[in-house]
Structure 1
Amino acid sequence: MILPATKKLTFYKPEEVNDSLGALFFDTGISAGFPSPTEDFSEQQRLSLDDELVKNKDTTFFARVSGQSMIGAGLDDNDLLVIDRSLEPENNKIAVCFLDGEFTVKRLRVDKDEVWLKPENPDYPIIKVTAENHFVIWGIVTNVIKKI
């Protein structure tokens, strides 16, 4: 099987936002089961997604997923990833890695002195990282933003 070439990731940095900005937020909970009685929406708040999704503004970036190798983890083509470069890589975390000149997003598997990059799609191979690879763990994925 021939796999498509990896596309390059485009990274975005969070912008500084005035605290008074943000989308309207109704902190009432929206039923995903039976409809709930209407509540008064007169008390409105503003919600900044940066405040919700970004813990470390100086080390957080956004990037779009390109490809299908992580669909089993819920990362679909064109999803927007929130990536924090200050977090320590750990076994089973999803990471953005720089491998032999290309960026890729995979689940980390660390076993003793070995590192594997595990896709979450059986159509893609598990990658064993060796001393011959140029390899950097660029950041840890903390959130994903999807369009529906």
Structure 2
Amino acid sequence: MLDDIFEDAAYTGTKKFTQHNVQTANATGFGAAADDYAERGIDLNEQLIMNKPATFFFRMNSDAMIGAGINSGDILIVDRSIKAVSGKIIVAAIDGDLMVRRYMQAFNTATLCAENNQYKNVDINEFTAFQSWGVVTCVIHILDAALVAFNKKSSGGKTPLTAKGLNGGLFKK
């Protein structure tokens, strides 16, 4: 019975890790009461990514969106297949620089709004080189400083795509 529950529970992506099935049935008695409610492991790709080919990860490197709960160093999951509509938080290229802002549109005007008063909003007009790279769907906020240090060490100092600017080297911190 437990083999059926845990079938296909392991992550099948490109990263390698081991997920072990834990048998709780006891040969001399009853299994644990929670066995009736056992579920397979949680696959974060399955839970957080709606359209895999259109999704990328982006590391926030400013506190411009702190009011929206996005801190510097957070990893954003961005979906290029979702349309940028008013109120959505997007990754945008403005005149060659990448930024994360809330997209606000009213009638014939559009503005990229920061969620921190220390940053200016950006008005989009016909003279602005604007391109939406996608809508932010999830924020991964690492709480343990040891994990942050591990991520930097394991990536050789390289981080996922960051808002450094198109001409400033996207994969450098």
AA paired with 1:21? A
2:108 matched residue in structure 1:
113
1:140 matched residue in structure 2:
135
AA paired with 1:110? Q
Per-residue deviation, residues 61-98 of structure 1 (Å, max 9, x unmatched): 11100101000000000100010000011101000001
Instruction: Give the TM-score of the pair, scaled to structure 2.
Output: 0.62
2:66 matched residue in structure 1:
71
The structure number with the bigger radius of gyration is 2
Cα distance change on mapping 1:41 and 1:122 into 2, 3 Å? farther
What percentage of aligned pairs have identical amino acids? 32
Mapped pair 1:103 → 2:93: no
SS of the residue aligned with 1:58?
helix
User: Given the alignment, which residue of 53, 77, 86 partners 1:91?
Assistant: 86
Structure 1 stretches of 4+ with a deviation exceeding 3 A read 39-44
CA-CA distance at 1:44 after TM superposition = 5.4
Aligned length: 116
1:21 matched residue in structure 2:
10
Cα distance change on mapping 1:66 and 1:49 into 2, 3 Å? same
AA paired with 1:146? H
List gaps (5 residues or longer) in structure 2: 1-7, 12-18, 21-32, 144-173
Mapped pair 1:130 → 2:119: no
List gaps (5 residues or longer) in structure 1: 1-18, 25-38
Equivalent pair of 2:91/2:132 in contact (CA under 8 Å): yes
Structure with more strand by fraction: 1
SS of the residue aligned with 1:62?
strand
CA-CA distance at 1:40 after TM superposition = 4.1
CA-CA distance at 1:20 after TM superposition = 3.6
CA distance in 2, matches of 1:110, 1:118: 10
CA distance in 2, matches of 1:99, 1:48: 35
Structure with more helix by fraction: 2
